[in-house]
Structures are given as C-alpha cells and as structure tokens.
Amino acid sequence: MADALRERLRGEQRFTADVAHELRTPLTGLVTSASLLPEGEATDLVRDRVRVLHGLVDDLLEISRLDAGTEEADLRPVPLDELVTESVRRTGLEARISVVGRPVAETDPRRLDRVVTNLVVNAHRHGAAPVEITVDGTRIEVRAHGPGFPADLLAHGPQRFRTGRRSAATVTASASPSHSARPGSSAPVST
C-alpha cells in the first residue's frame, strides 16, 4: 500500500507541474488582455476572476517547485496570534480564536498564512459553525463542527484536485515535519 501511495503522489506531483506550466502562457495573455479592457463594472469582474486564476496558477507553480525541491521557505520568527488573527480577518469569515500565551514560531509567514486561510475557508465551506481556532505553542488547530471526514477520505487519504462532500473535523497545522490524513493530524507549515 505504501508503494501505491508513493506512486500516486509522484503522479499527482507530475500532474501539478504539467498543469501549472501549461496554464502559465495562456494566463499571461489573459492578464494582458484584461488590462486592455475599457473601465467598467464588467471589466472589474473579469479582472477579479483573472486575479483569482492568477493566484491559483501561482499556487500550482509553488507546489510544483516545492515538490521538486527547488523552492525554499523564508523562515523567520512569526507571532502566531497576530498571523492567525490577520489571516482570519482577511477571509471575511467568522471564527472564534483562542490563544495560549504569545506563541512565536520560526516559519514562512506567507505559507503559514495560506495554510490558515485555506483551513478557515474549507472549515466554512465543508463544515458547520462555529469555526474555532486554537493557537497553543506552534500548534494551530482549526475546528469546524459537522459529521467529520467522509469514510472514503479516511480510507484512501487526501488527494490533490479532488473535492469532497460536506464534512467537518479538526485539522491542525504545526511546525512539525510530519502529517497525516486523519482528523486532528499535523501538517508541516515551514517547508
């Protein structure tokens, strides 16, 4: 089973790299075209969607660079309470934040922000209120309420480019180097 999971991961990594690079050229043309449109409400909507698509392609490119080992984290001391509060504020979504002490972690703030933002957005999208975030040391726990992970996700693990049914569980981001697909597991945020 471990060999099958490794092979699936390698295939997903190749797919990520291929998709990211194939999208980059047409996206550049789309960005240029959107900048030439006359000002107006429709143009604003198009430019907004182009910005979103550009962000997604940038994320894919970063993932492929991380997978290839060509991207390095920009590690520095980060006050986790401030980062989490700001990340949640920018989502525009409700979340209860609880912080123990004044935790600081040596991590890449941009990447950690992305992880926290994604967890909060997904907690609202796939879970149920209230969304609760606990920061304790280098552990950031995001909890949504609902039925939990679907059985097929627990059986087969997470997969890139796959969306699941509505569910909720606790997912934790930690500065530790290990992670798991199970609720309450840790995911690396410094690499």
* CATH code for position 33: 1.10.287.130
- pLDDT at residue 162 in the model: 59
Provide, rounded to the nearest whole percent, the portion of the chain with pLDDT above 90.
35
Res 183 pLDDT > 50: no
| Inter-residue long-range contacts of 169-172, CB under 8 Å, 24+ positions, other chains counted | 169/127, 169/143, 169/144, 170/141, 170/142, 170/143, 171/119, 171/123, 171/141, 171/142, 171/143, 172/139, 172/140, 172/141, 172/142
Provide, rounded to the nearest whole percent, the portion of the chain with pLDDT above 70.
81
| Same domain (yes/no): 57, 149 | no
Confidence of residue 171 (pLDDT cuts 50, 70, 90): low
Domain with 29, as residue range(s), is 2-68
Res 116 pLDDT > 90: yes
| Same domain (yes/no): 80, 64 | no
- Residue where one domain finishes, among candidates 44, 68, 92: 68
* Two tokens, residue 59: 């994320």
| Same domain (yes/no): 40, 100 | no
The CA distances from residue 40 to 28, 31, 47, 129, 184, in Å, are 22, 16, 11, 37, 46
| Same domain (yes/no): 104, 35 | no
Compute the mean pLDDT over every residue in the chain, rounded to the nearest whole number.
Answer: 80
| Same domain (yes/no): 64, 100 | no
15 versus 166: the higher-pLDDT residue is: 15
Helix (H, G, I), strand (E, B) or coil at 163: coil
Count the domains in the chain.
2
15 versus 141: the higher-pLDDT residue is: 141
Stated pTM of the model:
0.59
Find out whether 20 and 64 touch, Cβ atoms under 8 Å.
yes
- Residue where one domain finishes, among candidates 50, 68, 86: 68
| Same domain (yes/no): 63, 106 | no
| Same domain (yes/no): 60, 132 | no
Distance of alpha carbon 72 from alpha carbon 102, whole angstroms: 27
| Same domain (yes/no): 107, 126 | yes
Q: What is the pLDDT of residues 64-109, one digit of tens each?
A: 887 777 877 789 999 999 999 999 999 999 999 999 999 999 999 9
Nearest to 189 by CA among 93, 84, 94, 95: 84
